Amino acid sequence: MLILGLETSCDETGVALYDTDRGLLAHALFSQIDIHVEYGGVVPELASRDHVRKTLPLLEEVMTEAGVTAKDIDGVAYTAGPGLVGALMVGATLARSLAWGWGVPALGVHHMEGHLLAPMLEEKHPEFPFVALLVSGGHTQLVRVDGIGEYKLLGESLDDAAGEAFDKVAKMLGLPYPGGPQVAKLAAEGDSDRFDFPRPMVNRPGLDFSFSGLKTFTLNTVDDCKIDGVLAPQDRADIARAFEDAVVSTLTIKCRRALKQEGLKTLVMAGGVSANLSLRAALKEALAKERAEVFYPAPQFCTDNGAMIAYAGAQRLAAGQADDDGAAVRPRWPMDQLPPIEAA
């Protein structure tokens, strides 16, 4: 089956073509960073309008690159949630219209399931079962995965997601949007021995996270270091390093705990924060001691992209799942509500 995938959940427009026999044929992505940077975050109305402008040109680009026409496509997958409702509606409306016009099924895909399955796009990919760390601007979750649609939530953030905390700390340090990559870049210049930030909730049982207290601790440190309201460049770098180290350490401790609890040796890390090089290195080192292995997508597939939606949609469409007439976008959508592949 050749599946077209559309991703429009937030501030990136992604389009891809995935073939269940040949793999990923082509993909394209447009990021709206330049549009939202002056506002310091995503403006939902501007995001929706830009998806309207960019989706069809990207679709034409991808189909041309893959050398396919509409008659070759067997199904259309799109992000149905979670996400910004206006942005989701752009992708859903286009996807279902194309599917109706082409006479093929359409299927709304869960955004986080797309992230969770993104490592499957790599030549070396994990086998079920595994523990997944989903870590992005909107989510920080540990999930046991026994198959597609067979998910058990093990723990999640009780407040800010890790990516959200990165963005907020970036603002404290006067860094531009998007904050996560900027904090990581600045942290590379920092002294890891200067500050010792807390590792939230690691000394209590369970697999939940909390980053709001760490965010407050960071803000207090910023205020303490300011002289006449100004933060020195080295202070900024040292604070960024201490914050990143605390987040990385916290995530690593909880991942090891989750694997031990579930008796598994395979971890999948996905979502925008999974591109963080310090986190990748820490997990690889820590899990090697446990004789466990970590898998993650290529950097280009860590952030939102059409390839992950095309892949996830292809698995479910191939199993016979498809939208019915009552399908709708879902800005909030618990992943444990998804049916397993076998239920098709």
What is residue 79's predicted lDDT score, i.e. its pLDDT? Answer: 98
Q: What is the spatial distance between Cα 191 and Cα 184, in angstroms, rounded to a whole number?
A: 13
pLDDT per position as a tens digit, 286-336: 999 999 999 999 999 999 999 999 999 999 999 999 999 889 999 999 998
Parent domain of 88: 2-117+301-337
Q: 46: burial class by Cβ within 10 Å (0-12, 13-18, 19+)? A: middle
| 3-state SS record for 112-168 | HHHHHHHHHHCCCCCCCCEEEEEECCCCEEEEEEEECCEEEEEEEECCCCHHHHHHH
Rg, C-alpha atoms of the chain: 20
Residue 15 neighbours by CB distance under 10 Å: 30
Work out the average pLDDT over 58-74: 98
Calculate mean pLDDT across residues 237-249.
Answer: 98
Q: Is the pLDDT of residue 341 over 50?
A: yes
CA distance 124 to 111: 22
Which residue ranges make up the annotated binding site for Fe cation?
111, 115, 304
pLDDT confidence of residue 167: 93
Instruction: Return d(Cα 59, Cα 16) in angstroms, integer.
Output: 8
Mean pLDDT value of segment 249-276:
96
pLDDT in tens, 187-203: 999 999 999 999 999 99
- Looking at the structure, tell me whether residues 287 and 330 fall in a common domain: no
Residues 156 and 181 in one domain: yes
Binding residues for substrate, as ranges, are: 134-138, 167, 180, 276
Same domain, 164 and 269: yes
pLDDT score recorded for residue 177: 86
Share of the chain above pLDDT 90, in %: 93
For residue 290 the two structure tokens come to: 């446990």
The pLDDT score that the predictor gives to residue 343 is: 43
For residues 96 and 158, membership in a common domain is answered with no
Of 37-41, 108-112, 181-185, 260-264, the least confident: 37-41
The neighbouring-strand residues paired with 4 are 17, 76
Within a domain: 45? yes
Task: Check: CB of residue 66 under 8 Å from CB of residue 307.
Answer: no
The chain-wide mean pLDDT, for the chain, equals 95
Rounded Cα distance, 261 and 257, in Å: 6
Q: How confident is the model at residue 344, as a pLDDT?
A: 40
**CB neighbours of 40 closer than 8 A, spacing ≥ 6?**
171, 177
Within a 10 A sphere around the Cβ of 342, how many other Cβ atoms? 10
How many domains is the chain built from? 2
pLDDT in tens, 116-145: 999 999 999 999 999 999 998 888 999 999
Binding residues: 111, 115, 134-138, 167, 180, 276, 304
In a domain, 342, yes or no: no
Clarify whether residues 141 and 257 are in a common domain: yes
Q: pLDDT category, 178, cuts 50, 70, 90?
A: confident
